[in-house]
Structure 1
Amino acid sequence: MAGKLFCAKADAAVTAFDDAMRSDLHRVRALRVGHAWSAIGVYTSEILRQWREANPEVLVRLKRVDDPAGGLTTGQSDVAIMRTRTGRCSLHEELLLMEPRVVAVPPGCPLIGRDEVLLRDLAEYPLVINSFSGTTNLDLWEEGGQPVVAVEVDTIDDWQSYIAAGLGIGVTPASTAWMHPHAEISYLPLRDAPAVPVYLVWASNNRHPALRSFIQLARDVVAEGAA
């Protein structure tokens, strides 16, 4: 944890130095978009494509940050894509979309052959949870019908590794299947699981000149995709 904190502070210091050295308005530093694991899922590539066409002079830099606040409070990000609320009054949160959930299972799991999977079907399987930046906890299940937590991790890579090894199953937003396919993991729809909110979050005092344009583009692309 100490190493992560040091790297975050160092990254923020470098960014602050770059901003101080850019005295001319014609050179705008990259807009840093923090996310924990899956950005904006299926909309990510289209947003980046449209941004490059409309704003070739400003790079959008996706930055995976293992941080519950998306790197905003450490200065690593200008705007973050988050699937949990921060609860910080200094951060502005805007709901962008609602994502369905899927269950991630290892090879040979009996759930793979079912016509549909419900939350109650998972109670007998051990669960792998990303307790640092994930969206799944035992509150998804009714008391008395909860699965056992096999292991808790803090990165998407470790989460997938334990599931692929057969130590448990995982519940995650559908964007994980899109952004992080895995040869040894099958992602199955969960019919009765509540959807996951996806937020755009930014500090109210952030003054990056491209921030508002990026937020509007993300809104437009998601709205067009949902139409």
Structure 2
Amino acid sequence: MLERLELEAFLTLAEELHFGRTADRLGLTTSRISQTIRRLERRIGAALFERNSRKVSLTDVGRQLRDDLRPAYEQIAAGVTAASRGNMVPRVLVVGFSAPWCGNLMVRAAELFRRRYPGSVISVEEIQLMDPLARMRAGVVDLQLTEFPIAEPDITTGPIIFSEPRALMVPSNHPFAQRDSVSMEDVADTTLVTLADASIPRYWMDYYFPRRTPAGRPIPQGPAVMFWQEALVHVSQGVGVSTVAARAEQFHTRPGMAFVPFHDAPPIDYGLMWPTANRNPLLRPFIDTVRELAAAEDVLAPHPSPAHNAE
């Protein structure tokens, strides 16, 4: 189990990528931060950061640990803050995300928002792809960064925050794995792993897991999974292929899998949505914070095509 200092030092350094700024934020010395990180790396048995005289960067193991720990840490911090207020009614906003790269942005926005609006409680949670609207319609989630299109009468859609090119996730021994790119027509020559879509709008499924190519050729439908990890297993074991955002290669690469960019697929637009009836006073300022942070971090910049020969 991680000690509190290890957790806070790791997550802060993962954000700042600078030992001095991390030490300043935590009120500690730089040497204390360095010692804490080295101790954590020894316990894990792998380097979490690459260090040289010019910069600090996360290793693959470090990025995975950050992505696994950050949402849970944010929820714990929000719970502690709410409990410490006793009978006072906190200003709470619950925000959701559908993909790790969306979650990273929402967590950073939540931290910036808390600094700007002391006393606010921002809880960040992952939304499962198999039922992307349930938490919002249940009144639990106030705002969500998710894949568009969304066209529902009770949900308001806001700005597109960033767009991603698409890729086809294939077994590494698949003939497509040796290509520089694929087309939407090529998908008819595969078996497409899809989502169990009982609660997903049909127009959304057709956009991401189509039943026919643009020319009308039928696309063989493979297993319908409930969770994204199941799709990764099916693809890596050669059961089928799946369409993904190109950025997924940074988060989901595993043995037996390759990512091949599409040269003709429409991009994946990630936008904000919220219940039309929502009157939470934190909603609008948080939307502004997300947009500001996204622009400052240039997340709208084109994402490089994946190196699709992953083994």
Same fold (TM > 0.5): yes
SS across alignment from 1:40: helix
Distance 1:181 1:46, change over 3 A: farther
Among 184, 193, 202, the residue aligned to 1:128: 193
Q: Is the 8 A contact 2:169 2:242 kept in 1?
A: yes
Q: Is the 8 A contact 1:35 1:70 kept in 2?
A: no
Indicate the structure (1 or 2) with the bigger Cα radius of gyration. 2
Q: How many residues in Structure 1 have an aligned counterpart in Structure 2?
A: 208
Distance 1:47 1:105, change over 3 A: farther
Structure-2 separation of matches of 1:179 and 1:56: 33
**Aligned match of 2:266:** 194
SS across alignment from 2:136: coil
**Aligned match of 2:133:** 69
Q: RMSD of the TM alignment (CA)?
A: 3.2
TM-score (norm 2): 0.57
Distance 1:70 1:195, change over 3 A: farther
**Aligned match of 1:138:** 210
Does residue 216 (structure 1) correspond to residue 288 (structure 2)? The answer is yes
**Aligned match of 1:94:** 158
CA drift of 1:139 comes to: 5.3
**Aligned match of 2:179:** 114
Indicate the larger mover: 186-195 or 125-134. 125-134
Distance 1:56 1:170, change over 3 A: farther
CA drift of 1:86 comes to: 4.2
Distance 1:140 1:61, change over 3 A: farther
Q: Is the 8 A contact 1:70 1:81 kept in 2?
A: no
C-alpha offsets along residues 159-215 of structure 1, whole Å, 9 cap, x if unaligned? 111111110000022343344443442222111101122221112332334322221
Structure-1 separation of matches of 2:134 and 2:293: 21
Structure with larger RCO (C-alpha < 8 A, sep 6+) = 1
**Aligned match of 2:15:** none
Does residue 81 (structure 1) correspond to residue 145 (structure 2)? The answer is yes
Does residue 157 (structure 1) correspond to residue 220 (structure 2)? The answer is no
**Aligned match of 2:97:** 35
Distance 1:85 1:106, change over 3 A: same
User: Identity percentage over the alignment?
Assistant: 22
C-alpha offsets along residues 135-177 of structure 1, whole Å, 9 cap, x if unaligned? 5222561344333111112321111111111100000223433
Does residue 167 (structure 1) correspond to residue 239 (structure 2)? The answer is yes
Structure-1 separation of matches of 2:139 and 2:109: 23
**Aligned match of 2:11:** none
Q: Is the 8 A contact 1:78 1:211 kept in 2?
A: yes
Structure-1 separation of matches of 2:133 and 2:251: 21
